[in-house]
Amino acid sequence: MDPCPTKPDVLASYVDRLFEDSVIDTLSAYVSIACLSPDFDPNWADNGEIARAAQLLAEWAKSRPLPSSSVEIVEHEGLTPAIVADVPATPGAEGRLVTLLYGHLDKQPPLGSWREGLDPFVAVREGESLYGRGAADDGYSIFAAIGALEALVATGTPHGRCVVLIEASEESGSAHLGPYLEDVGARIGPPGPGLVVCLDSGCVTYDRLWNTTSLRGSLVITVSVEVLSEAVHSGLAGGVVPSSFRLLRQLLSRIEDQATGEIVVPECLAEPPARYLAAAQTMAAELGDGALGSFPTVPSLELSGRPGADRLLRRTWEPSLAVTGVDGVPSVKDGGNVLRPFTTLKLSIRVPPSVDADRAAQAVVARLSADPPQRARVKVEVVNAAKGFDAPPQAEWLVRATGEASEALFGRQAGAMSEGGTIPFLAELASRFPAAQFLVTGVLGPGANAHGPNEMLELVTARRLTAAVAYVLASAP
């Protein structure tokens, strides 16, 4: 297949105007909507914020000059809605690969205090940085997908049929996605999409187009230890009634080495393939610990692992545990001299891409549940178990197209990276459509701080990425 007949800089010029004339205003309006994912807003249906965000984004997509395209909000009962845009192939390009472009519109909660002058639900532009919850993760995605197609149409560049799917439960492990994937599969028909473009990943640096080749899986598990039916005076009960926190700490030691942070459950472990070992060494040689990105650590903190490739592999091919929520513990200000009746933790366990997430979750539950210390009441629940993703090798045409787009638009050859996060959609789609090619990319680079305070979209990168996607779509055979 010949490369895209339109020069990348022509596509980029159109995308630049589109962002300034339309995208940034609508994206800023989206930032103002508190469309929290269902895990963080159990009353999402009644609150209507997800529906409001879907309506805003769908109306923008409908307004774009894409001949014969259709944009609709699809809703299954009891599930968050999805936006589906179907853009037919240009005349003469009907035989090309069908492409599925993916993103999501649900958000994480604000999580902590944002710096002065910023607010999670007020878009603030500072030069080429746009701050606000959801701007980079993953509100920009529909603008990148539709904007790429609009740039092709505006420049008279042929492209195959494209279907855009924007879901609203990704931050809850894509719990509502399955029926919408079935809808899209039926819409596309056999053999399914030939190319999948996922716009929900990251980039190590902003100086090139990055393709994510693997992502870890994720287990979300709650564990609770109860020792009393109600709180009692700690002076009366302390030393006799065990502390629920102490017993819970014992349970955590069954799955994590408290000294090193290493996960000790065999079902959560996997050896990285040789190609990923080599890739980590190559990236570390070029970027050093810069390949990890920057973290707002306290000055004295010692990072785990050895500098270089070891830390890259720890973040992408080794399991890790984070306590992401606590119930039953009052604030320091409100804490009295009482022995609390229970402690509940929410655990986020990342597992290597090749690990069976369901089997790993069962093993973790078994360790936490067995033989409760001092016969306390222990309850363990799996909230979500999402498999990781190991991308198939890219076809020659895709390698060439991404390389040309990166060099022309970013000034450097495309890069490949493993990611420590999870995109459940990818594993599910890969199992449904094993012949599909994947371009997994995104804008979550240095300073983006997805899921944390001060989330930021780097606008230059968002524009370049949109033009790069357009180039790849036009290069597809």
How does pLDDT run across 238-258, given as a tens digit for each residue? Answer: 999 999 999 999 999 999 999
Tell me: do 247 and 103 sit in the same domain: no
Backbone angles phi, psi at 313, to 5 degrees: -70, -35
How confident is the model over 436-464, as a mean pLDDT?
Answer: 96
How confident is the model over 90-104, as a mean pLDDT?
Answer: 96
Tell me: do 78 and 141 sit in the same domain: yes
Which pLDDT value is given to residue 19?
98
Alpha-carbon gap, residue 199 to 75, rounded angstroms: 22
Alpha-carbon gap, residue 200 to 440, rounded angstroms: 7
Classify residue 99: in a domain, yes or no.
yes
Percent of the chain with pLDDT over 90: 91
Query: How many CB atoms within 10 Å of residue 112?
Result: 9
- Predicted TM-score (pTM) of this structure: 0.90
The token pair that represents 75 in the structure block: 């809703």
Percent of the chain with pLDDT over 70: 100
Q: Decide if pLDDT at 1 tops 70.
A: no
Alpha-carbon gap, residue 56 to 356, rounded angstroms: 38
Tell me: do 325 and 449 sit in the same domain: no
Q: Decide if pLDDT at 399 tops 90.
A: yes
Alpha-carbon gap, residue 381 to 215, rounded angstroms: 24
Instruction: Among 25-29, 188-192, 263-267, 315-319, name the one with the lowest average pLDDT.
Output: 188-192
Tell me: do 140 and 248 sit in the same domain: no
Tell me: do 374 and 249 sit in the same domain: yes
Range of the domain at 236: 217-269+318-386
Whether residue 138 has a cis bond before it, omega within 30° of 0: yes
Classify residue 300: in a domain, yes or no.
no
Classify residue 3: in a domain, yes or no.
no
Q: Decide if pLDDT at 120 tops 90.
A: yes
**Which of the listed residues 333, 365, 386 is the one where a domain comes to its end?**
386
Residues 340-365: pLDDT tens digits?
A: 999 999 999 999 999 999 999 999 99
Tell me: do 181 and 135 sit in the same domain: yes
Q: Decide if pLDDT at 192 tops 70.
A: yes
| Residue 378's CATH number | 3.30.70.360
Which pLDDT value is given to residue 124?
98
CB crowding 215-249: b at 16 or more within 10 Å, else e: bbbbbbbebbbbbbeeebeeeebeeebbbbbebbe
DSSP for 230-244 reads S-EEHHHHBTTBPPH
Whether residue 307 has a cis bond before it, omega within 30° of 0: no
Tell me: do 326 and 464 sit in the same domain: no
Tell me: do 456 and 401 sit in the same domain: yes
How confident is the model over 35-41, as a mean pLDDT?
Answer: 96
Secondary structure of residue 123 in the 3-state scheme: coil
Q: How far apart are the first and last CA of the chain?
A: 5
Tell me: do 328 and 198 sit in the same domain: no
Classify residue 277: in a domain, yes or no.
no
Alpha-carbon gap, residue 100 to 141, rounded angstroms: 13
Residues 68-77: pLDDT tens digits?
A: 999 999 999 9
Tell me: do 39 and 60 sit in the same domain: yes
Which pLDDT value is given to residue 292?
81
Residues 409-447: pLDDT tens digits?
A: 999 999 999 999 998 889 888 888 888 999 999 999 999
Classify residue 296: in a domain, yes or no.
no
Burial of residue 452 (CB within 10 Å: 0-12, 13-18, 19+) is: middle
* Domains held by the chain: number: 2
Tell me: do 335 and 251 sit in the same domain: yes
Classify residue 284: in a domain, yes or no.
no
How long a stretch of residues is the chain? 477
Tell me: do 86 and 137 sit in the same domain: yes
Classify residue 331: in a domain, yes or no.
yes
| Residue 104's CATH number | 3.40.630.10
Q: Decide if pLDDT at 188 tops 60.
A: yes
Classify residue 88: in a domain, yes or no.
yes
**Which of the listed residues 368, 386, 404 is the one where a domain comes to its end?**
386
Q: Using 50, 70 and 90 to split pLDDT, how confident is the model at 291?
A: confident
